[in-house]
């Protein structure tokens, strides 16, 4: 991409614009997730068929993510993000229109493909803004995604409570979110390729640094997926708690993740990405040990909260590291995103299968071991660089736009 000089005000504005894009992206996910039961009934599919269909978003994302870099090269970063975000927000209506399993799978494939391409494009722009500011912002951006998902979920919960048709709900939500996304995209950095810059390949294996960084992200997302989907069941089945207390455990896990992401940038700026992730791995491992060995609901709930606190900033820092790992940031980010999406797809079913063969305690023992890997391999997040972020004199002159 062409190197351009941006003023203090433009960089600050671009940061807030990317944060808004992250929030809109999360809101689409939250709006969809809350209406899955309605979509299942409308498509007349059973639990097993729904499980098959819900694998298609990750499949679509994995196939389409490598294309995001080429699209950005062809149209420029701002125009590409505007188009990809519009496709993503409008694709929200597709699953609720599906009348059967086949059309639902196709709709979810398109839904995941647009989500993945928009995800790569917005993370690439987030990394670019972070580099130009000379301070960490990726954790906060992913915190905004979580906040957007929470708002989308709240709207979906209200719509479901009122008994509204998901087709109407998603059409209205898609219209609003498309407008918000287009407005936000109008203020992001308008990066253009240089005249002699070759376009990235349509499909290519991720570079080696991205594979190593993706491995750290895989461990974190596996722990996240396992905790989100199985924490309530763990408390109910293993520790015989009430359904309300079990649900509160999942809520606590989600809350600690969101808070940690929103506050994580200041920690990264102070201690650097590598040391932050090493400590994060220790916290997540300690949380896993409390879950597995505690034997009491309060101890297990504390463990899940600690797990959320530990893994919250890992994936944002993996994207940031991928964006600085080589000459083609979009390709590296796409590689890391594909690996983490795969982890999110594999984790829930892997935990369930292992629990059926052994127990949930053993399953979360595996999660604890993977959490150790987060801290043990944290060094790959800053290959060839010092742990402490480097801030240029020009970047240091830019005031912090955060409140």
Contact 15, 6 (CB under 8 A): no
Per-residue confidence band for 398, with pLDDT thresholds at 50, 70 and 90: very low
Distance from C-alpha of 328 to C-alpha of 1, rounded to nearest angstrom: 9
Task: Pick the closest to residue 24 from 147, 137, 126 (CA basis).
Answer: 147
Its pTM stands at 0.83
Give 82-94 as a DSSP string: HHHHHHHHHGGGH
> 266 vs 201, which has greater pLDDT?
266
∠ CA 163-168-171, nearest 5°, is: 140
Q: Are 88 and 118 in contact (CB under 8 A)?
A: yes
Joined tokens for residue 112? 């995941």
Q: What is the rounded distance in angstroms from the CA atom of residue 159 to the CA atom of residue 165?
A: 8
How many C-beta atoms surround the C-beta of residue 103 within 10 A? 15
Give the Cα separation of 290 and 303 in Å (integer): 5
First to last CA, the chain: 30
CA atoms of 241 and 269, how far apart (whole Å): 40
Q: Which of 52-56, 301-305, 354-358, 387-391 has the highest mean pLDDT?
A: 301-305
- From residue 348, alpha-carbon distances to 55, 111, 203, 207, 211 in Å are 11, 20, 28, 28, 22
- For 140-152, b where at least 16 C-beta lie within 10 A, e where not — what string? bbbbbbbbbbbbb
Q: Which has the closest alpha carbon to 123: 1, 18, 196?
A: 18
Report the percentage of the chain scoring pLDDT > 90.
Answer: 54
What is the pLDDT, as a whole number, of residue 400? 39
Confidence of residue 391 (pLDDT cuts 50, 70, 90): very low
Tokens of 254: 């989600």
* Six token digits for residue 59: 């499949």
Name the residue with higher pLDDT: 178 or 345: 178
**What is the average pLDDT score of the chain?**
87
pLDDT in tens, 196-251: 666 666 655 667 788 999 999 999 999 998 888 788 889 888 998 888 888 788 87
Provide CB contacts within 8 A for 64, sequence distance 6+.
112, 113, 114, 116, 117
Reported as a pLDDT band with limits 50, 70 and 90, residue 154 is: confident
More confident residue, 315 or 394: 315
Say whether 134 sits in a helix, a strand or coil: coil
- Sequence-distant (6+) residues with CB within 8 A of 197 are 1, 2, 73
pLDDT at 245: 86
C-beta of residue 142 within 8 angstroms of C-beta of residue 320? no
Structural tokens at position 120: 């790569």
* Residue among 280, 282, 250, 256 nearest 268 (CA): 280
Contact 249, 231 (CB under 8 A): yes
Please give the pLDDT value at position 200.
64
Which pLDDT does position 290 carry in this prediction? Answer: 96
Any idea what DSSP says for residue 135? S
190 secondary structure, DSSP code: -
pLDDT confidence tier of residue 37, bands split at 50, 70 and 90: confident
Distance CA 206, CA 204 (A): 6
Q: What is the pLDDT of residues 113-123, one digit of tens each?
A: 999 999 999 99
What's the rounded Cα separation, in Å, for the pair 55 and 127?
A: 29
Residue 39, class by beta-carbon neighbours within 10 Å (0-12 exposed, 13-18 middle, 19+ buried)? buried
Output the pLDDT for position 41.
92
d(CA 286, CA 249): 17
């Amino acid at each position: 991409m062409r190197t351009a000089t941006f003023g203090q005000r433009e960089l600050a504005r671009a940061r807030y614009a990317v944060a808004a894009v992250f929030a809109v992206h999360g809101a689409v996910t939250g709006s969809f997730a809350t209406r899955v039961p309605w979509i299942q009934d409308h498509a007349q599919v059973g639990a097993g068929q729904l499980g098959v269909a819900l694998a298609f978003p990750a499949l679509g994302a994995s196939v389409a993510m490598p294309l995001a870099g080429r699209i950005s090269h062809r149209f420029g970063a701002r125009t590409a993000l505007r188009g990809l975000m519009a496709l993503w927000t409008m694709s929200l209506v597709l699953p609720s229109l599906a009348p059967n399993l086949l059309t639902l799978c196709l709709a979810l494939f398109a839904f995941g493909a647009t989500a993945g391409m928009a995800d790569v494009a917005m993370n690439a722009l987030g990394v670019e803004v972070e580099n130009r500011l000379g301070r960490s912002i990726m954790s906060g951006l992913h915190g905004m995604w979580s906040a957007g998902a929470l708002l989308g979920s709240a709207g979906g919960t209200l719509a479901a409570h009122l008994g509204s048709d998901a087709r109407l709900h998603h059409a209205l939500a898609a219209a609003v979110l498309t407008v918000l996304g287009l407005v936000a995209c109008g203020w992001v950095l308008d990066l253009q390729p240089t005249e002699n810059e070759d376009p990235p390949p349509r499909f290519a294996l991720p570079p080696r640094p991205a594979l190593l960084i993706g491995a750290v992200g895989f461990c974190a997302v596996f722990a996240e997926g396992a905790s989100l989907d199985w924490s309530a069941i763990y408390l109910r089945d293993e520790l015989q708690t009430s359904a309300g207390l079990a649900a509160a455990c999942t809520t606590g896990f989600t809350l600690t993740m969101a808070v940690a992401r929103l506050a994580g940038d200041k920690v990264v700026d102070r201690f650097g990405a590598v040391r932050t992730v090493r400590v994060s791995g220790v916290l997540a491992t300690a949380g896993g040990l409390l879950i597995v060995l505690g034997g009491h609901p309060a101890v297990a709930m504390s463990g899940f909260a600690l797990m959320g606190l530990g893994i919250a900033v890992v994936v944002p820092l993996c994207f940031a590291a991928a964006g600085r790992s080589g000459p083609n940031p979009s390709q590296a980010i796409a590689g890391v995103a594909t690996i983490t999406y795969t982890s999110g797809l594999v984790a829930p079913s892997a935990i369930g299968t292992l629990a059926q063969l052994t127990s949930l305690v053993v399953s979360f023992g595996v999660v604890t071991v993977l959490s150790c890997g987060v801290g043990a391999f944290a060094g790959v997040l800053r290959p060839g660089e010092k742990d402490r972020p480097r801030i240029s004199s020009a970047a240091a002159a830019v005031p912090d736009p955060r409140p």
